[in-house]
Copies of this chain bind each other. A is one copy, B any other.
Amino acid sequence: MSETRVEAAIGDSEFDRDTAVVPRGPADPGVYDTELSPGWTIISAVNGGYLLALVGRALAHALPHPDPFTVSAHYLTASRPGPAVIRTETVRTGRTLSTGQASLFQLDDDGHEVERMRVLAAYGDLGALPDDVRTSAKPPQLPPYDQCLGPEDAPGDTPLPGSSAITERLALKLDPATLGWVLGAPSGRGEMRAWLGLADGRDPDPLSLLLAVDALPPTAFELGLKGWVPTVELTAHVRCRPAPGPLRVSVTTRNLAGGFLEEDAEVWDSADRLVAQSRQLARAKLD
């Protein structure tokens, strides 16, 4: 996996720079200025996981606990690259968990503030948890990293028109068994599996896990849907500090009905620990 192991470090990487938030300070407590980078867009959309990590960073600063434990985000309007403001509220402070709320705003063409997303989250200290594990979960079965395929391996034109800037930020190697859609032969199974890292080799941390849960192509593509699949709500649980090295991400959809579907994601680290789980409700464009 050497191609993903270059120099960028946690705190000094594309991901860290592009999710930086600047507190306004005592005059405007809990308010952060930020800039949505065009580097995390796909087609015309700013990636929802990137937005979640960015708001998650603001909450990590605003709350007394450092790590997201459970984060629920409602996506209200489409974000665009450019300036944004995050307003946070400390809802409750406890000994082991604190609860916070945050909203991301941008200005529309008329200069009016528009809310892009709203987040409710509980933060704690993953480092303070006992290391007991009684899990029946098993890591996803994936071919070896070098036998999985990234956008650079795509035949001819990329299957996704428009921006694919995010593919340059991610080290994404998809399981060929979940790539039938690329060749126009979707499997009909709502599954997407991949090795995932950051292109500059920055190791995962709890904040980048919020990106990881929404970084793969939509499972809907393997169900034969061609349209985009906008997220209505996504909730992520971060369960463990990830070990260095590439993550394995498995996303599954079991129920596509009434024009909506759920996407369940599991993120596993190089130490074979289930480090994050997420579920989102998304709209499906049926054709």
Task: Point out residues on A near B: beta carbons under 8 Å.
Answer: 69-70, 72, 74, 76-77, 91-92, 97, 99, 101, 115, 118, 120, 122, 126, 129-137, 189-190, 223, 232-233, 235, 237, 239-240, 254-260, 262, 273-274, 277, 279, 281, 286
Contact status B239-A129, CB under 8 Å: no
A281 CB contact (under 8 Å) in B129, B133, B237: B237
| Given the contacts A92-B77, A235-B233, A281 and B132 also touching, CB distance less than 8 Å | no
Known contacts A122-B233, A133-B258; 12 additional CB pairs below 8 A are A69-B281, A70-B74, A72-B235, A74-B99, A92-B115, A129-B260, A130-B259, A135-B256, A135-B257, A137-B255, A239-B255, A254-B274
Contact status A240-B254, CB under 8 Å: no
**Nearest chain B CB to A36's CB is how many angstroms away?**
19
Q: Which B residues lie within 8 Å of A115 (CB)? A: 91-92
Contact status A136-B232, CB under 8 Å: no
Main SS class of interface, A? strand
Contact status B134-A233, CB under 8 Å: no
A277 CB contact (under 8 Å) in B97, B255, B259: B255
Q: How far is the CA of A129 from the CA of B281 in the complex (A)?
A: 15
Q: How far is the CA of A281 from the CA of B237 in the complex (A)?
A: 7
Q: How far is the CA of A57 from the CA of B225 in the complex (A)?
A: 34
Contact status A277-B260, CB under 8 Å: no
Contact status B258-A239, CB under 8 Å: yes
Q: Which B residues lie within 8 Å of A122 (CB)? A: 74, 232-233, 281
Contact status A262-B240, CB under 8 Å: no
**Nearest chain B CB to A170's CB is how many angstroms away?**
25
A70 CB contact (under 8 Å) in B76, B99, B233: B233
Show 5 residue pairs from A and B whose CB-CB distance is below 8 angstroms, ordered by the A residue: A122-B233, A129-B257, A131-B258, A137-B255, A237-B262
